[in-house]
Amino acid sequence: MHKNHLNRKWQLFLAAMLVTLTACNSPTATNSNSDTSSPANTINSPENSPTATDNNTNVDASRLISTQGIGDARLGMTYGELKKALDSKTTYEVKSPFMVDFDAIAVNQDGKTLYYITYPSTDTFSDSSKIETITTENPDFLTDKGVGVGKKIKDAETAYGKATLGYHTQNESREYVTFANQPSDISFRPLTPPGKFAGIYKSPLKEYNETDQFKQDTVIKSVSVLSRN
C-alpha cells in the first residue's frame, strides 16, 4: 500500500476517533432499549449515575495519564527522547499489526507493558519520529482523578460525569466511552467480549451509533492520549 495512502488513513483514524469523542460529548445522545435480564445488563439511570466531583488523586508523575502524555511518554517528543528518559532495563517490542493498518511499539519494564506508541504500518518508526498517539492497557497508570484501566465506567462517572458510549462503522466499529467532563484529547475504550458492545444501542443501527445506557459491570480496557496537531 502506498505510503501517502497510509498517511491519509492515519489522518482518518485520528479524525474518526475525534469525531467519536466529539459526538459522544453531544447533548443529543440516543437512549437505547434496555435489557435488565441480568446484573451485567443493568443500565445506568439518573439514580445510579453519579455527578462529577473535583476530588483529585495523588498520582506519581511517572504513572500519570494527562493530555500531555502517559508517564514519561509525552506527545510531540521523539522516540529517541523517550528512550533516553527511561532506564536501561526498558525493552521495546514492535507489535505488527497492532490494529488494522497500524503498528505499535510496546514499551516494557519488568515483564509488563507500560504503554504502546502507535504509528502507520508502512512507516518506519525511528529515533527521530515524533510520538502522536500513546495507548495504555496497564492499570498502574491513572488520571489525576484516579481513572484508568480496570475502573468500572459507572465508578468513573463519579470523577468525570455522565458516560456516553459510541462507535462508528467507518472506524472498525471500535467502541469508545466519553464522559461529560473528561479532559480533552484522552479517549477511553470499554472491555467487551469479541464482537460485543458495552453500550445498549437502539435499533435500527446506523453508521454512527451512541447511547447513554450500558452494562453496569463494564470496565475500562484502554486509555489513549492523542495529538490533534
Q: Is residue 163 part of a domain?
A: yes
Q: Are residues 80 and 134 in the same domain?
A: yes
Q: Of 124, 141, 158, which marks where a domain is finished?
A: 141
What is the DSSP annotation of 46-62?
TTTSPPP--------GG
- Total residues found in the chain within this entry: 229
Q: Are residues 219 and 180 in the same domain?
A: yes
Q: Are residues 43 and 104 in the same domain?
A: no
Q: What is the pLDDT of residue 55?
A: 64
Record the pTM: 0.80
Q: Are residues 191 and 210 in the same domain?
A: yes
CA 206 from chain centre, in angstroms, equals 22
Give mean pLDDT in consecutive 10-residue pieces for the chain, a chain of 229 residues: 43 49 48 38 46 71 96 97 96 94 95 96 94 97 98 98 96 94 95 96 96 98 91
Beta bridge partners of 130: 78
* Alpha-helical segments (H) within 63-118: 79-85
**Count of domains forming the chain:** 2
Q: What is the pLDDT of residue 212?
A: 97
Distance between CA atoms of 128 and 167, rounded to whole angstroms? Answer: 34
Beta bridge partners of 188: 177, 223
Contacts of 34 (CB under 8 A, 6+ apart): 41, 43, 200, 213
Q: Which domain holds residue 166?
A: 1-58+145-223
Beta-carbon neighbour count of residue 124 at 10 Å? 7
Q: Are residues 137 and 73 in the same domain?
A: yes
Q: Are residues 31 and 72 in the same domain?
A: no
Q: Are residues 65 and 164 in the same domain?
A: no
Q: Is residue 228 part of a domain?
A: no
Q: Is residue 87 part of a domain?
A: yes
Q: What is the pLDDT of residue 164?
A: 98
Q: Are residues 156 and 214 in the same domain?
A: yes
Q: What is the pLDDT of residue 56?
A: 76
Q: Is residue 229 part of a domain?
A: no
Q: Are residues 134 and 149 in the same domain?
A: no
Q: Is residue 151 part of a domain?
A: yes
Q: Of 120, 141, 162, which marks where a domain is finished?
A: 141
Which of 146, 142, 160, 150 shows the shortest CA–CA distance to 190? 150
Distance between CA atoms of 62 and 189, rounded to whole angstroms? Answer: 22
Which of the 8 DSSP states describes residue 25?
T
Q: What is the pLDDT of residue 22?
A: 52
Q: Are residues 100 and 155 in the same domain?
A: no
Q: Is residue 103 part of a domain?
A: yes
Q: What is the pLDDT of residue 46?
A: 40
Helix (H, G, I), strand (E, B) or coil at 147: coil
Q: Are residues 152 and 181 in the same domain?
A: yes
Q: What is the pLDDT of residue 189?
A: 97
Q: Of 92, 112, 141, which marks where a domain is finished?
A: 141
Q: Is residue 53 part of a domain?
A: yes
Torsion of Cα atoms, 181 then 185 then 188 then 189, to 10°: 140
Q: Are residues 54 and 166 in the same domain?
A: yes
Residue pair 70/79 in contact (Cβ under 8 Å)? The answer is: no
